[in-house]
Structure 1
């Protein structure tokens, strides 16, 4: 399925899927979505890219090994739980920090960082599996 049409349209499909995965991740605590489904969509985008181009090209486009994403995501999710313990609250209790940047009002929260950690962990783990399965026996 490596046709000229697929190779031409794949970068656009991948870009739309990555933007959609970030949107789904960021709205996860207010509406359906979250880090897990966002990570699945991003991993599917990586699979499409590797099928359209090659596994080597997909690895080069990441710039970082997928397992580094997974490790950092697990670390980020764990730290988001530890922050609440440092504030003398139970593990994984949601804490919010309200920032006012000019006229903009930004709310940072530990659930947001937890979702981003899950996103990176799912994307990294599945990305490593996807790229590993498509290598045809080549060692990374």
Structure 2
């Protein structure tokens, strides 16, 4: 017998939007304030896990056809690449650089290589978290 969970699914759609928005905010606030790739990745990953808990795995996979093991691997490569990239410019390991750019919609924006490193950390955390939860939930 299937449980009628229309209210749960409707509420989760709104809550997931709020959780994902908070995760993106924490990610972008991270290099100047508390937050960053790890916390942003945890919040984003928890939003994805909430979708998996509310809806079945097949439904979520239709909307997000990602292999989260590959997402984690991409994150590790991105974080490692930005860390090693400084060595190609005769700078110490994990050295960062930053610039101010005049972007069309955002105006004068501060962009740093730390953001690329934090993106790698976030992708690693999201991929690892979702992979662990999906592995735990699998039937034997």
Give the shorter-chain TM-score range. 0.7 to 0.9
Count how many residue pairs are aligned between Structure 1 and Structure 2.
137
Distance (whole Å) between structure 2 residues aligned to residue 101 and residue 9 of structure 1:
36
CA distance in 1, matches of 2:92, 2:18: 38
Provide Cα deviations, 1:92-126, integer angstroms capped at 9, x if missing partner. Answer: 11111332235822332111111111000000111
1:118-140 CA distances to partner (integer Å, 9 max, x unpaired)?
00000011111112222323xxx
TM-score after normalising by structure 1? 0.88
Q: What is the TM-score when the length of structure 2 is the normalising length?
A: 0.88
Pick one of 110, 113, 121 that aligns with 1:118.
121
Match of 2:44 among 17, 42, 45: 42
RMSD: 1.8
Residue pair 1:55, 1:135 contacting (<8 A) in 2 also: no
Structure 2, unaligned stretches of length 5 or more?
Answer: none
Alpha-carbon spacing, 1:132–1:61, altered in 2? closer, same or farther (3 Å): farther
Partner SS, residue 18 of structure 1: helix
